[in-house]
Structure 1
Amino acid sequence: MGLIESFFGTISSLTWGWSLIPFLVVLGIFFTLISNFVQFRYFTTMFNVLRSDPEAGKRGHVSSREALLVSVGGRVGGGNIAGVAVAITLGGPGAVFWMWAIAIVGMATSLFECLLAQAFKEDQGDGTYRGGPARYITEGLGREYRWLAIIYAVCLIAAFGLGFNAFQGNTVAGAAQESLGIDRVWTGAGLAVLTGLIVYGGIKRIAKVADVIIPIMAFGYIAMALLVIAINIVELPGVIWEIVSNAFGLQEAVGGGMGAAIAQGLRRGLFSNEAGLGSAPNVAAAAYVPHPVNQGIVQAFSVFIDTIIICSCTAFVILLGDVYQPGVDIDGVVLTQQSLVFHVGDWASYFLTFAILLFAFSSIIYNYYLGENALTFLTNNKPMALHVLRLTIVAVVFIGATAPGATAIFFFSDPLMGVLALVNLLALAMLFPTALRILNDFRAQQRAGKKPVFNPADFPDLKIDARAWSDAAEDASAPSARSA
């Protein structure tokens, strides 16, 4: 076991420690510059997705908004509560600024990876679609790169489908036991049953559940943060100055100064918003939109919600209070919890427990879908394989919840996520010219005063499933149709 742990530790060092973060940052900046700051040009358009999409509903498709909420449910999790607190503890308030910076850059990366997932998605014959990095690697780069797609798919199942779901089950059960006194067995059983009911409904049921719980989760947490900000409004400018001055070394809150702020901000920001890691494109491909860029814009908005809004909420709650003391090591969740209690009273600890429950559960159903999507690629949609995966994930959630020490078995999750992220970034770099062509097609139609519609016939050199776009032309011309 020691040899295996050492092996995965080396993988983690080679990915997260040396190559992955610089690659993510450089590629994100490159995408931003070459695309002429695409995330800023379409920023106001992003908010249109919050409206319902009647055309998607008519044909039984997963709507752009539903796909957004599923991806938000996956991105928003422990990193937004505990991760931000850890970044501030280890990197000082300046780490928050660098989380913002990497999110802005990551919006462009997410736009392009999700654009590609949409372009190369496959019609499933029942109104749903499948796609993601495994499919845009094989269809975009060619069948000779299938081995790379297989590495990606295996890592996705192991890291997200199994490992992270065990951790999420543990998080939910631990929070319920600590705050409410509920035994882990009961929490694990309830969580396993709920997970089974949802995952056996496929992406449509997952999307419907996300459409309900994610707004409750996000708006509830934002409302709490706004209450804290309102109580401490006169101190807010000082906190913002503290974040900026720390970020550029004008003040030093922790050992390592500006370097620690950059390192922690970038690492925690990337881990939280997942831009470029190759997870969100799996969900993005499931949505019905008239043009791939529509969903790319939507998923850029998901990064904005995760980091610029939700992570900032946690940061302000912590920095506006007196619990945080520079240089004092304290568990991330505890720091956020104690900060909330400091501002509004003991009842806030129960509120945070409820938030953690929703955050973790939304991540479980998101992680399951990533595993399902990867498995369908590996097994060519074999029903028995899906059945085995669903039962396995229900069992993993239960075991993770009831036996806290069992999560140590899944030590390989972070290293494998590093591998799949590196594979995805290599594919993105190689497919960027294709993505830029699709973006330019969208822009050209806009300049001509048209509602952009993707026509596979305009890209005869690309292996695109024309059936996945058969509804787009008709619906985009309808009076009720809208762009995301």
Structure 2
Amino acid sequence: MDIIRAFFGLIDSLTWGWALVPILVVFGVFITLMTGFVQFEYFGRMFRVLSGKNQSADPNAISARAALLVSVGGRVGGGNIAGVAVAITLGGPGAVFWMWAIALVGMATSLVESSLAQLFKRSVGDGTYRGGPASYILFGLGKEYRWLAVLYAICLIAAFALGFNAFQGNTFAGAAQDSLGIDRIWTAILLTAITGFIVYGGIRRIAKAADVIVPIMALGYIAMALIIIVLNITAIPGVLWTIITNAFGFEEVVGGGMGAAIAQGLRRGLFSNEAGLGSAPNVAATAHVRHPISQGITQSFSVFIDTILICSCTAFIILLSDVYQPGVSDIDGVVLTQQSLVSHMGEWSQYFLTFALLLFAFSSIMYNYYLGENAIAVMTGSPISVHVLRIAVMGIVFLGATAPGATAVFFFSDPLMGILALVNLVAIMMLFPVALRILRDFRAQLKAGIERPVLAPEKFPDLDIDPTAWQHDK
């Protein structure tokens, strides 16, 4: 076991340790420049997905809005509550600025990877679609890269469907036990039963559940943060000044100064919004849209919601409180956020945070499961394999919820996520010229006065596009 741990520890060092974060940052900046700051160009257009006017007329299809909510549910999780607190304690308030910066850059990366997922998606035949990095490797790069797609799929299943779902089950049960006094076994049984009901309904049921859960959890948390901001409105300029001065080293509150702020902000921001990691494109491909760039814009909005909105809420809750002590790094992330919330709103608010954590954890479980199902489809089309995965996910959720130390066996999750992120980055680097082609097509149609651009597969005869996936509403 020690040898295995050492092996995965080496992988973690070679990916997250020094290579992956700089690559994600550099490539994000490169995409931003080469696309002409596309995330800002279409920022206003992102909000259109929230209305029902542009949804598909097919009742069986997954709408752009539904895909957005599923991906937001997956991106938003414990990292938005505990991760932000950790970034502030280890990197100082300036880490918040670098989280914002990497989110704005990551919006462009997310747009490109999600647009590619849409372009190379495949119709399942029942009104739904499948796609993602494995698909754009297979159909964009060619069958000779199938081994790369399989490697990606294996890492996706192990990291997200299994490892991270154990963590989410553990978070869910731990929060219920600490705040409500509910024994882990009862939480595990309830969570496993709900998980089974959702996963056996496939992507449609996942989308319907996300349509209810995600708005409640996101809007509720944002509303709480806004109340706190209004109550402390006179302190906001001072907090913003502290964030900026600490971000650029003018004011040092932790060891490492500006370097610590950058390192923690970038790392925690990337872990939270997942831009470039290759997970969200699996969900982006399910949406029924008229042009790939449309869903790319939507998923770019998902990064904005995750980091600029939700993570900022946690940051202001902490920095506006008197609980946070600069330089003190031995406090648990969730505890810091919880104590900060209580200092603002009173004891009752810890139960609100527990409820938010439960929703965050469950939405992530749904999302993580679907990533695993999509990966299984790449390796084998057997319905039995999907059934086995569903049973395995239910079991792993139960295990994670019942045993406080159960997640220790999933030391491989972060290293394997590092591998799949590198695989995804290699793929989108190779396919970036294709992404620029469809972006030019989208811009040309808008310039010609077409309000809702449409992808015509025949305009790209050299690309392996599934024409049945692009039969648009009349």
TM over 0.5: yes
Deviation at 1:206, TM superposition (A): 0.3
Alignment check: 8 A CA contact 1:93 1:247 kept: yes
Give per-residue Cα distances to partners, 1:9-42, cap 9 Å, x unaligned. Answer: 0000000012110110010000000000000000
Question: 2:327 aligns to what?
Answer: 327
Alignment check: 8 A CA contact 1:57 1:63 kept: no
Question: 1:455 aligns to what?
Answer: 456
Matched letter for residue 343 of structure 2? F
Q: Root-mean-square deviation (CA), in Å?
A: 0.8
3-state SS, counterpart of residue 436 of structure 2: helix
Question: 1:174 aligns to what?
Answer: 174
Matches within 5 A, 1:361-372: 361-372=362-373
Q: Distance between the aligned counterparts of 2:241 and 2:425, measured in 1?
A: 34
3-state SS, counterpart of residue 60 of structure 2: coil
Question: 1:206 aligns to what?
Answer: 206
Question: 1:267 aligns to what?
Answer: 267
Tell me whether 1:88 sits opposite 2:88 in the alignment: yes
Give per-residue Cα distances to partners, 1:274-295, cap 9 Å, x unaligned. Answer: 0000000000000000000000
Alignment check: 8 A CA contact 1:284 1:295 kept: yes
Question: 1:192 aligns to what?
Answer: 192
Deviation at 1:461, TM superposition (A): 0.3
Deviation at 1:59, TM superposition (A): 4.0
Tell me whether 1:116 sits opposite 2:121 in the alignment: no
CA pair 262-54 structure 1, distance change in 2 beyond 3 A: closer
Alignment check: 8 A CA contact 1:84 1:268 kept: yes
Matches within 5 A, 1:197-276: 197-276=197-276
Deviation at 1:58, TM superposition (A): 3.0
Tell me whether 1:378 sits opposite 2:404 in the alignment: no
Alignment check: 8 A CA contact 1:291 1:453 kept: yes
Question: 1:284 aligns to what?
Answer: 284
Question: 1:359 aligns to what?
Answer: 360
CA pair 41-25 structure 1, distance change in 2 beyond 3 A: same
Matched letter for residue 229 of structure 2? I
Alignment check: 8 A CA contact 1:133 1:278 kept: yes
Tell me whether 1:316 sits opposite 2:316 in the alignment: yes
Give per-residue Cα distances to partners, 1:129-163, cap 9 Å, x unaligned. Answer: 00000000010011111111111000000000000
Alignment check: 8 A CA contact 1:53 1:64 kept: no
Give per-residue Cα distances to partners, 1:253-308, cap 9 Å, x unaligned. Answer: 10000000000000000000000000000000000000000000000000000000
Deviation at 1:54, TM superposition (A): 6.7
Alignment check: 8 A CA contact 2:170 2:402 kept: yes
Matched letter for residue 213 of structure 2? I
Q: Distance between the aligned counterparts of 2:7 and 2:338, measured in 1?
A: 36
Q: Distance between the aligned counterparts of 2:304 and 2:59, measured in 1?
A: 29
CA pair 55-41 structure 1, distance change in 2 beyond 3 A: closer
Question: 2:350 aligns to what?
Answer: 349
Matched letter for residue 120 of structure 1? F
3-state SS, counterpart of residue 245 of structure 1: helix
Matched letter for residue 289 of structure 2? V
Structure-1-length-normalised TM-score:
0.97
Matched letter for residue 83 of structure 1? G
Q: Distance between the aligned counterparts of 1:395 and 1:249, measured in 2?
A: 47
Give the gaps of 5 or more residues in structure 2.
Answer: none
Identity value in percent: 72
Give the gaps of 5 or more residues in structure 1.
Answer: 476-484
Deviation at 1:343, TM superposition (A): 0.5
Give per-residue Cα distances to partners, 1:369-400, cap 9 Å, x unaligned. Answer: 00000001110x21111000001100100010
Q: Distance between the aligned counterparts of 1:44 and 1:53, measured in 2?
A: 16
Q: Distance between the aligned counterparts of 2:406 and 2:227, measured in 1?
A: 38
Structure-2-length-normalised TM-score:
0.99
Question: 1:140 aligns to what?
Answer: 140
3-state SS, counterpart of residue 171 of structure 1: helix
Q: Distance between the aligned counterparts of 2:228 and 2:466, measured in 1?
A: 50
Paired residues, what number? 472
Question: 2:32 aligns to what?
Answer: 32
Question: 1:430 aligns to what?
Answer: 430
Alignment check: 8 A CA contact 1:53 1:63 kept: no
Alignment check: 8 A CA contact 2:173 2:188 kept: yes
Q: Distance between the aligned counterparts of 2:270 and 2:389, measured in 1?
A: 28
3-state SS, counterpart of residue 56 of structure 1: coil
Q: Distance between the aligned counterparts of 1:18 and 1:150, measured in 2?
A: 25
Question: 2:414 aligns to what?
Answer: 414
Alignment check: 8 A CA contact 2:55 2:64 kept: no
Q: Distance between the aligned counterparts of 1:331 and 1:402, measured in 2?
A: 21
Question: 1:48 aligns to what?
Answer: 48
